[in-house]
């Protein structure tokens, strides 16, 4: 039986997985953590969850064992390493590939307090954080480079409530009084209260789109008059991309 390989770990991938199996299409979802497995609470023999880190040396056995005939990449916009691996795999083994991506937030001209930067390197090499009370909502993987900024600014972080996230935060020099561990979605009321509680003067986030709470942060920044720095999505030349659920389903139907 042929399967779609769905690269998951995101809220939109969970929605897509449910839609795929509703059309009786067998699907293998890959995620990196056991926590992410919980996104797919679907009792179906058509859905298999694979937990772990895929690398080049195990890709071929994975494809052969699961009889993969198409790849749908619904990973996080900043998880470019798995996307690069999936694209290379599709090319090497002649598999159809589709990038299914969460919608980006449209830029509004009136949002004068928002600054877009092309990369984390641009942020860290500049003086944007100097002498500021900064809230970082970037995920635990991006925290360590901020260690050098702990003495030049007052940094707070919001991360997922997991052991991995907390360990990364401590290694980057964050103390418990500068950490809030909470699982999104975050309401506008709570977002606003957190910024005010810590007397934040600058917020840094990723261009994670509507699903990542970017709209809420934009609105709170505008209401409180607090500058918001948004790190743009890493550029990657996807062979084929869509934000439309129907298009993604039709793709799966065509190749499985």
The CATH number for 131's domain is 3.40.50.720
Please name the residue that has the structure tokens 């918001």: 228
114 — phi, psi (to 5°)? -105, 130
Find out whether 90 and 238 touch, Cβ atoms under 8 Å: no
Find out whether 203 and 227 touch, Cβ atoms under 8 Å: yes
- Quote the pLDDT of residue 110: 52
* Domain shared by 19 and 61, yes or no: yes
* Domain shared by 216 and 250, yes or no: no
Q: Walk along the chain (256 residues) in steps of 10 and give the mean pLDDT of each run.
A: 93 93 96 88 90 93 96 93 96 97 64 87 95 95 93 95 93 95 91 96 90 87 95 93 95 92
Tally of domains in the chain:
2
Q: pTM of this prediction?
A: 0.85
DSSP-assigned letter for residue 5: E
Structural domain range at position 245: 3-103+236-255
DSSP-assigned letter for residue 67: T
Measure Cα distances from 76 to 34, 53, 92, 188 in Å: 17, 15, 23, 22
* Domain shared by 160 and 82, yes or no: no
- Quote the pLDDT of residue 42: 79
Please name the residue that has the structure tokens 């679907």: 42
**Quick check: is 31 in a domain?**
yes
* Domain shared by 98 and 118, yes or no: no
- Quote the pLDDT of residue 109: 44
* Domain shared by 251 and 215, yes or no: no
- Quote the pLDDT of residue 197: 94
Closest CA to 191 of 115, 130, 137: 137
* Domain shared by 13 and 34, yes or no: yes
- Quote the pLDDT of residue 4: 97
Alpha helices (H) in 145-198, listed in sequence order = 163-171, 188-197
Please name the residue that has the structure tokens 């103390």: 175
């Amino acid at each position: 039986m042929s399967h779609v390989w769905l690269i998951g770990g995101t809220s939109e991938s969970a929605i897509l997985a449910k839609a795929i199996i509703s059309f009786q299409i067998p699907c293998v979802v890959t995620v990196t953590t056991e926590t992410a497995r919980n996104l797919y609470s679907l009792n179906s023999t058509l859905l298999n969850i694979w937990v772990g880190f895929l690398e080049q040396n195990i890709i071929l056995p994975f494809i052969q064992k699961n009889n993969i005939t198409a790849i749908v990449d619904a990973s996080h916009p900043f998880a470019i390493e798995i996307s690069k691996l999936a694209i290379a795999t599709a090319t090497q083994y002649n598999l159809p590939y589709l990038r299914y991506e969460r919608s980006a937030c449209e830029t509004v001209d009136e949002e004068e307090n928002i600054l877009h930067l092309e990369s984390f390197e641009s942020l860290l090499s500049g003086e944007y954080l100097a002498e500021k009370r900064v809230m970082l909502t970037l995920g635990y993987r991006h925290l360590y480079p901020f260690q050098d900024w702990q003495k030049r600014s007052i940094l707070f972080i919001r991360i997922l409530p997991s052991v991995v996230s907390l360990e990364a935060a401590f290694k980057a020099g964050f103390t418990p009084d500068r950490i809030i561990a909470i699982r999104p979605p975050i309401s506008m009321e709570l977002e606003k209260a957190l910024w005010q509680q810590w007397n934040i003067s600058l917020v840094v986030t990723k261009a994670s789109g509507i699903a990542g709470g970017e709209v809420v942060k934009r609105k709170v920044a505008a209401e409180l008059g607090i500058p918001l720095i948004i790190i743009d999505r890493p550029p990657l030349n996807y062979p084929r991309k869509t934000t439309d659920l129907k298009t993604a389903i039709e793709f799966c139907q065509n190749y499985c």
